[in-house]
Amino acid sequence: MKTRITEMLGIEHPIIQGGMHFVGFAELAAAVSNAGGLGIITGLTQGTPEKLAAEIARCRTMTDKPFGVNITFLPTLTPPDYPGLFQAIIDGGVKVVETAGNNPQQWMPMLKEAGIKVIHKCTAVRHALKAQAIGCDAVSVDGFECGGHPGEDDIPNFILLPRAADELSIPFVASGGMADARSLVAALAMGADGMNMGTRFIATKEAPVHENVKKAIVAASELDTRLVMRPLRNTERVMNNAAVERLLEKEKALGADLKFEDIIDEVAGVYPKIMLNGDMDIGAWSCGMVAGLVYDIPTVKELIDRIMSEADGIIHKRLNGLY
Ligand SMILES: Cc1cc2nc3c(=O)[nH]c(=O)nc-3n(C[C@H](O)[C@H](O)[C@H](O)COP(=O)(O)O)c2cc1C
């Protein structure tokens, strides 16, 4: 399948694996790229430019296909070494960067100079238009369904994607709630040039996370996520568990007085314990509603091949057959 995204990124299938904290290591990025999609290493999980450079080099030993790096801009008082991280990306010869959290305007000259394609992930049409205006090559449009940070507008993809198509001239991929061939064909029908998946890629053989995480996603239904940190205007969609219920009780009790410090035990530093040790109730971890559509733990290649062959069936048999 050829779309503006496959052409722009030099990939076979219009499927991207979004950056995921403590999931997007070289193993997963390489598996997605080897299967014909675009795999993405999560920059901030590595933390320092030296470690990111090493992870990029490790990924190169696993694939000769293009892969990207995600850089997330966090609202923190002590920011990571962003200039160093971007330099590591450039020096590592990576040609695609996924940015998120805030617009990447400040870094655009440096990235463009290095010939890097910038895909900005955003949750609102106005942010997508801003990304287009500052020279981003593409956007990843994240609907309210998504795992992680859906923003504060709560617009689901059935509205957000056609709205993005109506406004944007640069290519965009649909993100949030994407799981299978139906997601891909629907996203294309609504004007997107491909899809970005997070949660679905965690439940694959190559995702280098604890089996408990994969099993939790397979066991979950579409009713099992919760929105946390809404009072802080830093909303995150997470898998429900004991820590999340505790956190939501605190949010209810403290109302508008809630501060980040009140919930620090449930959200800070929990990712390695969950993703690497499988300690599932220790804190809040991002997960999309799409968990309800995840029934198995295939290899990445099996997943992507299945999506592409079923998409062919939907387009050529089911849809064509309606005429
Ligand atoms: C466990 C997990 C961790 C994530 N970490 C990040 C991150 O560090 N940076 C980022 O930009 N997006 C992050 N995301 C969001 C994904 O890249 C993607 O946009 C989202 O998962 C799409 O929604 P879906 O889960 O319904 O596919 C994360 C998502 C999950 C599930």
Q: Burial code of 32-62, b = ≥16 C-beta within 10 A, e = fewer?
A: bbbbbbbbbbbbbbbeebeebbebbeebeeb
**Of 265, 275, 218, 224, which is closest to residue 42 (Cα–Cα)?**
275
The pLDDT, as a whole number, for residue 276 is 97
Domain limits, the chain: 4-208
Residues 69, 77 contacting (CB under 8 angstroms): no
DSSP string, 251-283: HHHHGGG--GGGGHHHHTT-HIIIIIT--TTSS
Can you say whether the dihedral through the CA atoms of 276, 118, 200, 32 is positive or negative? negative
Low-confidence ranges of the chain (pLDDT < 70): none
> Which two structure tokens, joined as six digits, stand for 124?
């609102």
Helix residue ranges per DSSP H, the chain: 4-9, 26-34, 43-46, 49-62, 82-91, 108-113, 125-133, 157-167, 181-189, 199-202, 211-219, 242-254, 264-267, 271, 300-313
Q: What is the CA radius of gyration of the chain?
A: 19
CA of 193 to the centre of ligand 1 (A): 19
Tally of residues, the chain: 323
Q: Could you read off the pLDDT of 147-164 as tens digits, one per residue?
A: 999 999 999 999 999 999
The pLDDT, as a whole number, for residue 213 is 98
Closest CA to ligand 1's atom 22: 176
CA of 323 to the centre of ligand 1 (A): 38
Q: In what order do the strands lie in the sheet with 117-122?
A: 15-17, 195-197, 172-175, 138-142, 117-122, 96-100, 67-72, 39-42
Is 145 strand, coil or helix? Answer: coil
Residues 128, 89 contacting (CB under 8 angstroms): no
Closest CA to ligand 1's atom 3: 20
Residues 41, 54 contacting (CB under 8 angstroms): no
> Which two structure tokens, joined as six digits, stand for 45?
């999980």
Nearest atom in ligand 1 to the alpha carbon of residue 17 is: 17
Q: Could you read off the pLDDT of 81-94 as tens digits, one per residue?
A: 999 999 999 999 99
CA of 197 to the centre of ligand 1 (A): 8
Is 61 strand, coil or helix? Answer: helix
In angstroms, how far is CA 71 from the centroid of its own chain? 11
- Which of 16, 23, 123, 199 should be mutated for ligand 1, with most atoms under 8 A from CB? 199
CA of 18 to the centre of ligand 1 (A): 6
The pLDDT, as a whole number, for residue 74 is 86
Distance CA 3, CA 12 (A): 10
Strands 172-175 and 195-197, sheet pairing = parallel
Overall pTM surpassing 0.85 (yes/no)? yes
The pLDDT, as a whole number, for residue 318 is 96
State the Cα angle at 280 between 262 and 54, rounded to 5°: 90
> 2.60.40.1760, 3.30.43.10, 3.40.640.10, 3.20.20.70: which CATH number matches 4-208?
3.20.20.70
